[in-house]
Structure 1
Amino acid sequence: MKTIILIMPYGSVGGMERLALTFYNHYQLKGYRVKAIKLIKLKSDIINFNNDEYYLSDKDFSELNPIKRILFYLLAPFKIRKIIKKEQATDSISFGDMANIFSALTFTKENKISSIHALKSVELNDKNSFNTLIKFSYKKLYGAFNKVVCISNDIKRDLIENCGFKFPEKMEVIYNPHNAKRLVELSEEPIDNKQEIQLFFKKTILFIGRLSVQKSPWHLINAFNLLQEKGIDANLIFIGDGNSSITNHIKSLASNYGILDSIHFLGRKNNPFKYLQRANVLALSSHYEGTPNVIVESIAVGTPVVSSYCTDGIIELMSLNAHHVKNENLHVEAGIITPNLYKGNLGIPKTNHVLPEEQKFADALKYALQSPELKNNLLKNRNQLLSKFDVKIVSEKYLTPNK
């Protein structure tokens, strides 16, 4: 019998953690033994694996002093190695750079699979010690894996052309799996909180994910303010938590605009899909991405998407055809893709000047709120858009050796 170890950063509502949970449920149904390792386990975790769960620390990195943080980094591979040996794992799958590096350094002999989930040349643009370690790992450590999964063709291309990745023969493009039927079932569950139900009495824009530099939610706030100036009466809802400095910045920005009463922060949700199904549009204003799970989830429950062109992977998810977005909004099968918002610098902007790209993002949101065409087009093409994300096919591709 196969014993599969899943190694992930956190237990939050992030894409990698939801992906790990999808694998966990599917592999268990297949009759495999499955264990999960969280690098960090927090009391606020949404995703849990009960008796099948291990963790390396119950304190977040921000709570560790420099010495304890260094000790965590040094000891993590040995702790993971001990768990892999104890469980006699036949396969391991790690999610994201930190988990991948620790897995590579265990020097264990199971079928070892890593996965990379974002456009790294943008993410690694900042010069710091952790990014230097990641770049080093692409040249030295990823040879330890039997397979390196890239969740879009654009990520694979970027790693080879821009990040010095030295093991292209180990790479395989595999899209993230999704159980569309289960997503629809979850989306149909009722919202129990009366105040939250009332938010959807208006037109609603929804963001789901971590409030982070990567997601650059200030662009969404700026675009929403432009909508308010046009007299569009709508609510903007954030589901998820994240960096407190990012959260404080966008709340301050919204307060300065005088629109904070129309913006609602609901925090983490065990079932975000029932909110997603009731929203008029899902909005992503990221600076970089891979192939965001939430876009596929939005397609599955029938909610159109407005997303910035933060990677070619967005095209792979939202359209049945090849496109290139330049300076204008592009209407595709799943919604609207707007021009790239990234201007070469990551982090909270020092000024709040409205970008032309934010105006186009606002135009796309306005169209999504006012026209039924986007939703009708999505529903017509939904099954075809979802076909390449079938969990049965994808989960087996992960475990199948490279040819």
Structure 2
Amino acid sequence: MKKIAFLLPDFQEGGMPKVASNIMSGLNSDYIQYLILLDGESEVRYVHNSEILPVCPKGQSKLQKIKVFLKRIKIVKQLKKKHNFDVVVSFGVAANIVNIVSKCNDSTICTEHNVKSIENKTWGFFGKVYDVLIKLLYSKPNHLVAISNVMKEDFIQNYNIKGNIDVIYNPHKVNEIIEHSNELLTNEEEELFRNKITLVNVGRLTYAKGHWHLIRALADLKKEIPNIQLLILGQGEMEGDLRKLTEDLKVQDSVHFLGFQSNPYKFIKQSDVFVMSSLYEGFPNVLIESLACETPIISTDCKSGPREIIDKEKNIHKKISEYEIHDYGILTPKFDGKVTLNNSDLTENEKQLKLAILELMQDKELYDKIKSNCRSKSFEYDVQNMVKKYEKIFD
């Protein structure tokens, strides 16, 4: 039996814990599993079948965070010596650096879940520190896993990473998603969808998700489709600004903020279109979940992931100025990142998002064609297919 430890900042809501949970549940019985959580006080929300090894609480000030970071390296190194792990696989830059620096006799696997040259710019001082550490350390693990080809290129071109970089898309429990999507709605939830054309978005209410673009496009769409509405599932620091924007645009009755939902899939399945307005992504799990729910997708052509999912040719270097129709959904030009929280005229790329939604809603043949392709595409990312690739690296 091999001992394998999964090292994460926490196991709360978010993409990385979900991916780790899916890998853990999909591994064969040859592994004894452990879960090392850097934030030793964080709540555990995802399924796992492992012994939990907490490290220490996180710091608040810059100085505290640096002290805690160094303390975490020391504690993780002690855990590695005590348990003699065969493999330690880490998720995200903070956990990856701890994993690399604390290496003992374990095989070190680091996984990254966002395009670092973009994401680190949003993190201020610590983003600059991480840029330096990535250049210094990311060639050292036994394997570095990127979850998209764009991310792999980013490591090579912007960080001069040498060594083993594997591309493994995020694993998904497709049958489980389908089962949850068929859960019955409450009477109140049913009423929400009655006589409405529904757009849905699932994601944290943060800058990276670009929700204001979607709300502004929705307000303009209502001139042509009066019964259209938008459901937003998620929480985050921009919620207040986004709610005020709906009021300023007079669409507060057509944009519903539903917060965190333990089962988002039943809302996705009942919606007409899943629309993703992100400025950047790592690999957007929610697009695979939408495919499994048989809900057609419209997504910005942002870095990284959407094109690799929607475009059969996976032409990751292509740039577009108009929306583009594919077998598995529609791609629209990426946004420039400017936050616009007012009723000014739509930007050209917001107009393209609006036109893409209009076309999909008005062309039934196109809509049915894309819808019919969704589910079979989602099974390409099923946990059984992806975990085999991880097991090959672990072995």
TM-score, normalised to structure 2's length? 0.89
Aligned counterpart, 1:89: 85
- Give the deviation of 1:331 after TM superposition: 0.9
Of structures 1 and 2, the one with the larger relative CO (CA 8 A, separation 6+) is 1
Separation in 1, partners of 2:184, 2:104: 46
Letter in 2 for 1:150: A
Separation in 2, partners of 1:122, 1:78: 30
Partners of 2:198 and 2:272 within 8 A in 1: yes
Question: Alpha carbons of 1:79 and 1:195: their partners in 2 closer, same or farther (altered >3 Å)?
Answer: farther
Asked if residue 197 in structure 1 is aligned to residue 196 in structure 2, the reply is no
Question: Alpha carbons of 1:78 and 1:270: their partners in 2 closer, same or farther (altered >3 Å)?
Answer: farther
Question: Alpha carbons of 1:334 and 1:110: their partners in 2 closer, same or farther (altered >3 Å)?
Answer: same
Aligned counterpart, 2:20: 20
Partner of residue 109 from structure 1, selected from 80, 105, 110: 105
Separation in 1, partners of 2:304, 2:365: 24
Partners of 1:206 and 1:276 within 8 A in 2: yes
Separation in 2, partners of 1:45, 1:232: 42
Aligned counterpart, 1:47: 46
- Give the deviation of 1:330 after TM superposition: 0.6
Q: CA RMSD in A?
A: 2.7
Question: Alpha carbons of 1:68 and 1:312: their partners in 2 closer, same or farther (altered >3 Å)?
Answer: closer
Question: Alpha carbons of 1:58 and 1:127: their partners in 2 closer, same or farther (altered >3 Å)?
Answer: closer
Q: Secondary structure at the match of 1:128?
A: helix
The unaligned stretches of length 5 or more in structure 1 are none
Separation in 1, partners of 2:203, 2:176: 20
Separation in 2, partners of 1:286, 1:101: 27
Separation in 1, partners of 2:340, 2:44: 30
TM-score, normalised to structure 1's length? 0.87
Partners of 2:361 and 2:367 within 8 A in 1: no
Letter in 2 for 1:341: F
- Give the deviation of 1:393 after TM superposition: 3.1
Aligned counterpart, 1:273: 265
Separation in 1, partners of 2:268, 2:3: 34
Asked if residue 159 in structure 1 is aligned to residue 155 in structure 2, the reply is yes
Q: Secondary structure at the match of 2:210?
A: coil
Q: Secondary structure at the match of 1:214?
A: helix
Aligned counterpart, 1:250: 242
Partners of 1:280 and 1:368 within 8 A in 2: no
Aligned counterpart, 1:291: 283
Q: Secondary structure at the match of 1:172?
A: strand
Aligned counterpart, 2:179: 185
- Give the deviation of 1:402 after TM superposition: 9.5
Separation in 1, partners of 2:89, 2:303: 24
Question: Alpha carbons of 1:248 and 1:276: their partners in 2 closer, same or farther (altered >3 Å)?
Answer: same
Separation in 1, partners of 2:117, 2:62: 27
Q: Percent identity?
A: 28
Partners of 2:182 and 2:266 within 8 A in 1: yes
Question: Alpha carbons of 1:373 and 1:146: their partners in 2 closer, same or farther (altered >3 Å)?
Answer: farther
Aligned counterpart, 1:357: 349
